[in-house]
Amino acid sequence: MAAVTPYLFFDGNCRAAMTFYRECLGGELILNTVGDTPAAGQFPADARDKVIHAALRRGAPPEAILMASDWMSQNTRVPGNNVSLSINCSSAEEIQTLFSALSPGATITQPPADMFWGATYGSLVDRFGIAWMLNFEKSR
């Protein structure tokens, strides 16, 4: 496991917030909108300009210090559920092992599955109420 990264969720103002953090912290900001993805057709038209993923990277080699997106869940965003801990796993086995270890008593929000961005991804809220996002980029 490389690192645990905070993943922030915003209520439609992800671009403004991440631009602000870049101004404060420096680094390189990468923003991807819903409309830029192959999944754009699966979202309502008014979501096309929302940020589906942002990463503020700083350091050498670039390390993600903050990741974020606009809130697109059907559940209401409230303080407390707007932060997840994200782990970029180093193998398919690691994502399965970590997901299984965190699962007892958890609410599974996305079982590990292949995603359009070329990764296996799964998410859950553990029995203590902490949200986890596990990602394994298959191109590694």
Q: Are residues 94 and 81 in the same domain?
A: no
Q: What is the pLDDT of residue 19?
A: 92
Q: Are residues 62 and 125 in the same domain?
A: no
Q: Is the Cα torsion angle 120, 8, 106, 104 positive or negative in sign?
A: positive
Q: Are residues 67 and 19 in the same domain?
A: yes
Query: What is the value of pTM for the model shown?
Result: 0.70
Residue 68 is part of which domain span?
1-86
Identify the band that residue 1 occupies on the pLDDT scale cut at 50, 70 and 90: low
Q: Are residues 18 and 80 in the same domain?
A: yes
Q: What is the pLDDT of residue 100?
A: 92
User: What is the CATH number for 120?
Assistant: 3.30.720.110
Q: Are residues 46 and 57 in the same domain?
A: yes
Encode pLDDT of 13-66 as tens digits: 899 998 988 887 788 999 999 999 998 888 888 889 999 999 999 777 767 688
The rounded distance, in Å, linking the Cα atoms of 56 and 65 is 6
Q: Are residues 36 and 77 in the same domain?
A: yes
Encode pLDDT of 80-138 as tens digits: 667 888 888 889 999 999 899 999 999 999 999 999 999 999 999 888 777 889 999 98
Last residue of a domain, one of 59, 86, 113: 86
Identify the band that residue 9 occupies on the pLDDT scale cut at 50, 70 and 90: confident
Q: What are phi and psi of 97, to 5 degrees?
A: -65, -50
Q: Are residues 33 and 50 in the same domain?
A: yes
Q: Are residues 97 and 35 in the same domain?
A: no
Q: Are residues 116 and 103 in the same domain?
A: yes
